[in-house]
Amino acid sequence: MAAIAVGCLTAVGCGGSHEARRASAAADPKPLLPDRFVRQPGVKTTMDTNPANLASAVVTYNFGQLPMYIDGAAFRLLPHDLEQTSEPGRTLRTVYRLTVPRTRLVLDTAVTAAPVVSETRELARGYTISVSVDGRYVRDPNRFWVFYRNNGPQICRIYFPGDLGSLNMGANSIVFQPLPAGAHRLRVELRHQVSDSAPAARLLADYRLRVLPRGPNAAERALSPNEEGPKPATNRTPLTFRATGQVDAAPQTGP
């Protein structure tokens, strides 16, 4: 500790005001969302609620293979455009308008997939992620990346056949604690560096939320699948041809 203190004092003595200005300029001025609003990485979970399983549930929901509520409506899965494309140098904005009860919200900000986990992680490094709720920002969103295999030991909600079952996935997945009743704006900004030779693409997802002054009701709980029931039959229809009627209404998109 003494050596650290001496080093600090030396820095102050040799142009301390210049260093202080540099440190101040480097500090992130954005207001931070208190950690209590977000389930933190490393928290103890059950098999059903581990980070990879919830991340995969969002993916599965957005393929139309799970309802929007799971676990007795303890979680509401949020829409994510799995078909969105990144165009270097351009901005794509998607707006979702949702009315939800006071329950946990599961958001996948970015999803990657590849045959091997190293490639999945490399694809994830191409994203710079910013997430805010009502103008306050989630601290270090990179903490929320999870990597898993579709048929791996962490997963119990998805049933993809053949090669899809062994696909390695990466998801930047955040679980928000129930928000207060009223209007809220959840905003995700992705900067996607597709290649070193091209400018980054910018993807904005704007969730306009109306949170009801109540928890999930009987109708919402009834939408949740029976976790104790038999495993659903394997759906061998290619994902691109599967029905997506369970997913939220089509969002508004634009530059």
Beta-bridge partner residues of 190: 129, 203
| 121-146 pLDDT per residue, tens | 999 999 999 999 999 999 999 999 99
- Strand pairing class (201-211; 182-192): antiparallel
Residue 23: predicted pLDDT: 42
Dihedral of the alpha carbons of 240, 109, 51, 174, in degrees to the nearest 10: -150
State the chain's mean pLDDT as an integer.
82
* 73-95 mean pLDDT: 94
122-126, 145-149, 242-246: range with lowest mean pLDDT: 242-246
* 76-100 mean pLDDT: 95
DSSP state of 22: H
Cα angle 107-110-115, degrees, rounded to a multiple of 5: 125
| 172-228 pLDDT per residue, tens | 999 999 999 999 999 999 999 988 899 999 999 999 999 999 999 999 999 998 766
Distance CA 143, CA 74 (A): 23
Residues 6+ apart with CB under 8 A from 247: 61, 62, 64, 68, 79
77 contacts 56 by C-beta, under 8 angstroms: no
Cα angle 48-214-173, degrees, rounded to a multiple of 5: 35
Residue 24: predicted pLDDT: 40
